[in-house]
Amino acid sequence: AASGGLGGNPLFHAGFGLMLMGTGLALARNAGGKVLAEAQRRAFATLEVTSKDPGYKWILQWIRDRGGNSRHLSLETKFRSFENGRVETEFTYVPAVGAHFLSYRGAWFKVTRAREKEMVDLSSGSPWESVVLTTRNRNRHLFGELLNEAKQMSLKQEAGKTVIYTALMTEWKVFGNPRRRRPLNSVMLAGNTAQKLVDDVTEFSSSAKWYVDRGIPFRRGYLLHGPPGCGKTSFIMALAGHLEYNVCILNLNDKGLTDDRLNHLMAVLPPHSIVLLEDIDAAFVKRDPRVERYGQSVSFSGLLNMLDGAASTERRLVFMTTNHIELLDPALMRPGRVDVIEYIGQASEDQARNLFLKFFHAEAQLAAEFGRIMGSEPLASMAQLQGYLMLYKKSPTSAVKYAPRFRDALKSHAVEEAQSLNQGESDENEHTSSGADDAATLAKKTAAS
């Protein structure tokens, strides 16, 4: 009776009908949403590039240069340095966070730049960002072409320059702006030292198949040792420029650098790179269980394993420098870890002469005399000689005249005597007299070092 009563109630029929209609509409809407999402998935292709990926900066630069119809922009300020010391400020604009549209090879792309406010890239401290490219599915092949074009555009700007990387957390980050490549002949080493190193590195770099065929790990280590200021690091930078390699500087004294992280960094080296470990003696002295781990995160055994252990990587060039080779543990210099050891010493007669000619191109006779004076007993580093010649860059005659005093001051550390010798030169002009005093001061500083 109750069911019969409800069945005859027109209000019940109307309510039940509305409920069924609402349910049907909801189902249809849900199904329609899924159909629409599936249709979009089939019709469009997307590519996401995060700020952690090396290609992220390529994409941003590519978007900036393509321009598009972006009206919402973000400012990037850069500084350019010129040879005359002038610094110029450059303002560039890239599409800001949000959606932008641009055309590439006849196809339209939607470019969405997003920034996570609550997420930070721990390696750089910058907010986490991403760029999503969306285009018609039939144009998805353009992604690869676009990325290659963006990469080549970036490499073109780095042409003729050396990129410096430093280790941050678990990855390599570009340090500053790419540097203009230093000519190899701008670093003057004694004898044929430079050519021997260039030939060895060149031969190694072209011998990958030879190493693989013989089952020999394809890696090579170099140790440059000698007094400070003689050109060890400068030569490595010039060599990198000559080979068109980048330089990855690794600080073993970094308190956050562990053995595992060290091996990981070596496994993710940027291609065509030289690994530079400067002042290796400051990181590890001869092994002593009482001091080996004090204040250090990387163990000595961890360094050895990185160089030639089971987890060490291949296709790798490692250069180490030291001012005190006698402090190094012999285990570090074992073949396979260090394959080439080269001494970079004080300036010889030829080095002093050639450096003088670099300052004063047409003064061959004075250059020979300067080389004879400073090279008779090699006492000065190339950095010290350069500093000395800077005092007389407009007076080559004075540079030769005061060279014996500079040499003797370095030899005996008797700076007071060198200063007294400079007194009484009343017949010299003001510039020359000032230069002599400066030479004595320079001698004092360099002798003390």
Q: What is the pLDDT of residue 283?
A: 78
Amino acid at 238: A
Q: What is the pLDDT of residue 308?
A: 85
Q: pTM of the prediction?
A: 0.72
Residue 68 pLDDT grade (very low, low, confident, very high; cuts 50, 70, 90): low
55-66 and 142-157 helices cross at what angle (nearest 10)? Answer: 90
Q: What is the pLDDT of residue 313?
A: 75
Residues of the chain within CATH 3.40.50.300 domain(s) are: 179-343
Amino acid at 32: G
Residue 52 pLDDT grade (very low, low, confident, very high; cuts 50, 70, 90): confident
Fold exhibited by the domain 179-343? Rossmann fold (3.40.50)
Q: Is 274 exposed, middle or buried (0-12, 13-18, 19+ CB in 10 A)?
A: buried
Residues contacting residue 93 through CB under 8 Å, at least 6 positions apart = 64, 73, 74, 75, 76
- Helices and strands, counts by H and E, the chain: 17, 15
The CA-based diameter of the chain, rounded to the nearest angstrom, is 136
* Beta strands 161-162; 179-180: pairing state: antiparallel
Across 158-181, average pLDDT: 85
Distance CA 163, CA 240 (A): 10
**Which of these, 141, 60, 44, 67, lies nearest to 97 by C-alpha position?**
60
394-408 as b/e, with b when 16 or more CB fall inside 10 Å? ebbebbbbbbebbbb
Distance CA 408, CA 273 (A): 42
Q: What is the pLDDT of residue 18?
A: 53
Residue 45, H or E segment: strand 44-50
Q: For residue range 14-42, what is the model confidence (pLDDT) as tens digits?
A: 555 556 556 666 665 665 555 555 555 66
Distance CA 446, CA 190 (A): 21
Residue 167, H or E segment: strand 164-168
Q: For residue range 245-294, what is the model confidence (pLDDT) as tens digits?
A: 999 999 888 878 888 999 889 988 988 899 999 999 887 655 454 444 44
129, 37 Cβ separation under 8 angstroms: no
Q: For residue range 412-441, what is the model confidence (pLDDT) as tens digits?
A: 753 444 445 444 343 444 444 455 555 556
